[in-house]
Chain A
C-alpha cells in the first residue's frame, strides 16, 4: 500500500495561466501548500494510479481534492473522471470539474459520471478566485471524507 496523503489538491489543468491563477488564489488562502499540478489527463491518471493502464487499479496517491479541467490533451477530463469514479478505491476522492465550458452536455455527462461539483470558470478574476477559494475551503476544511478503508470489499482484489 503506497497511498499517501501528502498531496491535498491535484490540479489538472493544461493552461499554465489558469493553473497559476488558481495556485495564487489557493496560496493566498493558505490552501496550496500541498498542491500538485499536472498538465494532462494521462499524467493525472498516472499520478493517482501509478504507471500502467489495466483496470481496476490500486490507488497510488489519494489527494483530498481533484480540480479537473475538461478539455485536456491526451486523455480528456471526462475520461479521467470516469476512471476515477470507476475505481473502487479512487471513487471516494472528491472531484470538482473546473472548466470554461458552459455546454450543458458537459455538465450532464459530468454529473452522470459522479462528479462532486461542477464550476464554470468565470472570465472575471474576482469571481474566479472566489470560486476556487470556496472550493478549497469547502473540500479541504469542511468536508468530512470517509476514512480510507484498505479492507474495503473488492471482489477482484480481495485484501488478506
Chain B
C-alpha cells in the first residue's frame, strides 16, 4: 500500500534513521527507569516524559520489535488519497511488548480484513514508502 512518506524533523529523525537501518527505537526516560525502577518507554516521541514531565531526560532505546494488537478498524473511506485504491484495509493499534504505552499504527500486511485477531502477537517489519524512500515501522501477525 503506497503510504505517504514521512519527512523527519529534529524530534523524529533518530526514529526514522533507525527505521532505515531496520532497527526499532523508542524514547526511554532515564529518570523514571533508573530512579523509580520502571522501564518507561513512549511512542510517538515527544519533548517530555509523559510520566515525570520536564524532569526526565529522554534517550533513544532499541527495543525487541515485538508487540500486541490492542485494537483495529477496517477502513472503507479514508481521506488519504494514495490509500483509497486499496480499500477496505486494516488499521490496527499495536502496543509495544515492553510498555503498552508505546503505540504504533499498522496495516497488518498479510492479515485479511475482518480477520484481525484481537490481542495477537505481532512483530515489526520495515516498509519503504514510495515518495522519498523513508522506511516506516509496520507489523505482521506472528504465525503459530
Is the A/B pair a real complex?
Answer: no
Chain B interfacial positions (CB closer than 8 Å to A): none
